[in-house]
Structure 1
């Protein structure tokens, strides 16, 4: 939620953004994005990519940026061509934290009555699979944003941390909860209480990320994973995602019951029939997402 870097840039001098890409892109509704770049990638343009783009602030998560991320996710959610989504930042910072300058003067009444940060959770409610491609700093809110995604890939120089304690507060967008579920109580408690970071390989070893790649290959590998996912039935992928997410909320018996019902539900789909027919006939399945 917070950043080790005060305004996410006060202790670390950012590099200039690449000149070859515009900081403003049009979304499907025609509205402009100020803080993110949005495009579709992959051979079939079936992977949505959201790139955080506040280079001067190391992609600090201001409220405007998170609202734009929500809008982009909404657009990809209803785009029938998109089967997976990648969220990334720059080579230097996925997101170095929340924008401390923006929240510095808030009081309890402001936070409580306005349910501060509530809409930041949109990433975790998207039905389509979301992959975080994390290069550089993923601190505070940046770490929380990565953990809201379904799959986390890291570049070799990535760093993860929840340094809110150093600013006199605690994580506020799920950091204490998702981190504990990902890495276990001891490491999560150590990171939250000390503000210490872990590197990409420690994050993989602890279960926070699934794969580590060279910095220059990270996003393309995340897109490849998205293409694999998008080649399957979007309908059944949503069911599979629901089943896996339920493991964090339900008892084993309840989770097994939900999984069984979702498994049964696939037998009402054309894609299940096509998938099994293709297997028996030794050909590639052609899913129609219904």
Structure 2
């Protein structure tokens, strides 16, 4: 398994925990960390048999990721700023498109790029003290890593406008009520345990089908895609898998299926 300067990786029973490990910087996302995240998720994609779920979290108790490293913004031209945003969007899209389920355990502040990172995961479990926000307008900016798009998808247009333009933060309870997070737990240990519980349940299902669920749901938001057709194609593709044959046999024989991801 890879070793990184800004990330800590821990693989236990098929669940890989990726921790943004810059606690002294409130786990802020500099370019080096972004490139390490990109590499780590390529590692996940390359090892589907060994990694059946991913937990994405931040070091310490204060912050998941408190934002981007603003010092890297100074001196950027419009051309370089556009490239900067497009590279970040590509990295976060690779998380959203990952066929291995990803849960963000939001252990504190998830602001700016941190909120965008959490939203790129398939699900979110927050601690009760977590805070979410896109405060970029305070800097004369807007989100650049997909925040305007994913926040709108998750909480709706009207609320997204409010929080993107006011820079107000959402509490964990508000995030739960608005559909931004799946669960709120008392502390980081409880949130991590909840994420493990969810991922273990998913790991007992057919891996190819899980990946196709991710593709089909994401197709709903993909510009120019026909989500219903994507679903029909994925449904049909399942019929050519060994997992489908095993699932049907197990159902008819009233036993637990033993899926191989084939």
TM-score range normalised by the length of the shorter chain: over 0.9
User: Secondary structure of 1:77's match?
Assistant: helix
Q: Aligned equivalents of 2:83 and 2:15: distance in 1?
A: 37
Provide the residue aligned with 1:56 in structure 2.
24
Describe the shift of the 1:118–1:180 C-alpha distance in structure 2 as closer, same or farther (beyond 3 A).
closer
Q: Hey, what does 2:73 align to over in structure 1?
A: 103
Deviation track 1:183-210 (CA, whole Å, cap 9, x = no partner) reads 0111111111110000111101101111
Query: 1:113-158 CA deviation, whole Å, 9 max, x = no partner?
Result: 5655354323223222211111110000000001111111111111
Cross-structure match for 1:168: 140
| Larger RCO (CA under 8 A, 6+ residues apart) | 1
Matched with 2:248 is: 276
Runs of 4+ with >4 A deviation: 113-116
Alignment of 1:13-24 (within 5 A): none
2:39 counterpart residue number: 71
Q: Contact conserved, 1:266 with 1:272, CA < 8 A, in 2?
A: yes
Q: How many residues align?
A: 257
- Structure 1 residue 84, shift from structure 2 partner: 1.5
How far apart, CA to CA, are the structure 2 residues paired with 1:269 and 1:249? 26
1:127·1:238 contact (CA, 8 Å) conserved in 2? yes
Residue pair 1:134, 1:153 contacting (<8 A) in 2 also: yes
Q: RMSD between aligned alpha carbons?
A: 1.7
Tell me the equivalent position of 2:202. Answer: 229
> Whose helix proportion is higher, 1 or 2?
2
Q: Partners of 1:117 and 1:242 in 2: how far apart? A: 20
- Are positions 1:86 and 2:65 aligned together? no
Residues 15-66 of structure 1, C-alpha deviations (whole Å, 9 max, x = no match)? xxxxxxxxxxx61xxxx3011100112xxx2111101110111000111111
Aligned to 1:104, the other structure's residue is in SS state coil
1:188 maps to 2:156: no
Q: 1:118 to 1:243 in 2, by over 3 A?
A: closer
TM-score computed with the length of structure 1 as normaliser: 0.84
Q: How does 1:87-236 map to 2 (within 5 A)?
A: 87-89=56-58, 90-112=60-82, 115=86, 117-121=88-92, 122-215=94-187, 216-236=189-209
Structure 1 residues 65, 194: closer, same or farther in 2, change over 3 A? same
Please report how far the alpha carbon of residue 223 of structure 1 lies from its aligned counterpart in structure 2 after TM superposition. 1.8
1:287 to 252, 259, 262: 259
SS at match of 1:117: helix
CA distance in 1, matches of 2:38, 2:193: 23
**CA distance in 1 between partners of 2:223 and 2:77 (Å):** 35
Q: CA deviation at 1:219?
A: 1.1
Unaligned runs of 5+ in 2: none
